Amino acid sequence: MQNQETTPDDDSMIRQRLHRLLEQHSQSEIARKTGHLVAGVNRYVHGARVPAAFCTALVRGLGVNPSWLLAGEGAPYLADVHTDTARLGENLLELVEAMNAIARMRLGSLTGKHHLRVLRELNEALLAHERLREKLNEQSGPLFRQLLNDLQVALDKLDLERAADLRQAALQLSRLCDDEVLERDFTRLQAYHEFQLKNSDRFLHFQRRLFLASLPDGSLFDERACDEARRIVVALVQMDRMKEALRICRAVRTLVGRRGQQWAAFARLENTHGVILAEMGYLYKGLALVQWTMPRLDGMYRRISEATQIRLLLWGGMLGINDAIGIGERTDAKADHLLQFACWLGDRESLRTAIAYSNAPNLEPVWRSGYFRRVAAALLGQLERPDAQEARKGVALDPAAGKAAPGDAPMAAACNTELLVAAGDLTAAMKELMRCEEARRQLDPEVRMHVLAQSLHFRNALRLVSKGTRGPQGELRRAALKHFRTWRKRGYLAFGGVQER
Label residue 218 by pLDDT band (50, 70, 90): very low
460 and 283 in contact (C-beta within 8 Å)? no
DSSP-based three-state secondary structure for 499: coil
Phi, psi for 446 (deg, rounded to 5): -80, -15
55 and 93 in contact (C-beta within 8 Å)? yes
pLDDT digit string, tens, across residues 383-395: 999 999 999 999 8
What DSSP letter does each residue of 3-48 carry, written as one string? --SS-HHHHHHHHHHHHHHTTTS-HHHHHHHHT--HHHHHHHHTTS
Average pLDDT of 175-198?
82
Q: Which of 131, 162, 178 is the last residue of a domain?
A: 178
Least confident of 49-58, 322-331, 369-378, 487-496: 49-58
Average pLDDT of 272-292?
94
How many whole angstroms separate alpha carbon 274 and alpha carbon 289?
A: 5
Residue type, 98: A
pLDDT digit string, tens, across residues 288-305: 999 999 999 998 899 999
Residue type, 19: H
76 and 65 in contact (C-beta within 8 Å)? yes
How many whole angstroms separate alpha carbon 198 and alpha carbon 401?
A: 6
Task: List b or e across 88-113, with b for residues whose CB sees 16 or more CB atoms inside 10 angstroms.
Answer: bbbbbbbbbbbbbbeeeeeeeeeeee
Whether residue 441 lies inside any domain: the answer is: yes
pLDDT of residue 404: 65
Closest CA to 437 of 466, 463, 417: 417
481 and 462 in contact (C-beta within 8 Å)? yes
Whether residue 341 lies inside any domain: the answer is: no
pLDDT higher than threshold 70 for residue 443: yes
Dihedral over Cα of 31, 36, 38, 43: its sign:
negative
Q: Which of 178, 198, 226 is the last residue of a domain?
A: 178
Cα atoms in the 13 Å half-sphere on the side-chain side of 374: 13
Least confident of 327-336, 397-406, 454-463: 397-406
Residue type, 67: S
Query: Looking at per-residue confidence, does 253 or 85 come out higher?
Result: 253
pLDDT digit string, tens, across residues 221-252: 788 888 888 888 988 888 888 999 999 999 88
DSSP-based three-state secondary structure for 217: coil
How many whole angstroms separate alpha carbon 382 and alpha carbon 346?
A: 11
Whether residue 115 lies inside any domain: the answer is: yes
pLDDT of residue 74: 64
How many whole angstroms separate alpha carbon 290 and alpha carbon 11?
A: 62
Q: How many domains does the chain have?
A: 2
Q: How far is CA 54 from CA 1, 93, 100, in A?
A: 19, 11, 14
Whether residue 269 lies inside any domain: the answer is: no
Average pLDDT of 5-11?
57
Average pLDDT of 55-64?
80
Whether residue 305 lies inside any domain: the answer is: no
Query: Looking at per-residue confidence, does 19 or 339 come out higher?
Result: 339
Average pLDDT of 437-450?
89
Dihedral over Cα of 383, 384, 389, 391: its sign:
negative
Least confident of 133-137, 165-169, 172-176, 323-327: 133-137
How many whole angstroms separate alpha carbon 468 and alpha carbon 474?
A: 7
Q: What is the CA radius of gyration of the chain?
A: 31
Label residue 1 by pLDDT band (50, 70, 90): very low
378 burial class (0-12, 13-18, 19+ CB within 10 angstroms)? buried
How many whole angstroms separate alpha carbon 173 and alpha carbon 141?
A: 9
How many whole angstroms separate alpha carbon 402 and alpha carbon 385?
A: 33
How many whole angstroms separate alpha carbon 242 and alpha carbon 197?
A: 21
Least confident of 90-99, 304-313, 425-434: 90-99
Label residue 96 by pLDDT band (50, 70, 90): low
Whether residue 351 lies inside any domain: the answer is: no
Closest CA to 378 of 390, 363, 365: 390
Residue 364 bridge partners (DSSP): 331
Whether residue 360 lies inside any domain: the answer is: no
Average pLDDT of 129-146?
68
Reduced DSSP (H G I as helix, E B as strand, rest coil) percent helix, strand, coil of the chain, to 5: 75, 0, 25
Q: How far is CA 231 from CA 180, 259, 334, 397, 484, in A?
A: 20, 21, 21, 25, 32
pLDDT of residue 275: 94
pLDDT of residue 199: 81
Least confident of 75-89, 301-315, 322-336: 75-89
Please name the residues in contact with 59: beta carbons below 8 A apart, sequence gap of 6 or more. Answer: 65, 66, 69, 78, 89, 90, 93
Q: Which of 149, 178, 207 is the last residue of a domain?
A: 178
Query: Looking at per-residue confidence, does 56 or 188 come out higher?
Result: 188
pLDDT of residue 5: 46
225 and 215 in contact (C-beta within 8 Å)? yes
Residues of the domain holding 48: 8-178
Task: List b or e across 184-203, with b for residues whose CB sees 16 or more CB atoms inside 10 angstroms.
Answer: bbbbbbbbbbbbbbbbbebb
pLDDT higher than threshold 70 for residue 139: no
Label residue 312 by pLDDT band (50, 70, 90): very high
Query: Looking at per-residue confidence, does 366 or 80 come out higher?
Result: 366
385 and 422 in contact (C-beta within 8 Å)? no
pLDDT higher than threshold 70 for residue 178: yes
pLDDT of residue 137: 63
Whether residue 37 lies inside any domain: the answer is: yes
pLDDT of residue 70: 72
Mean residue pLDDT across the chain: 82
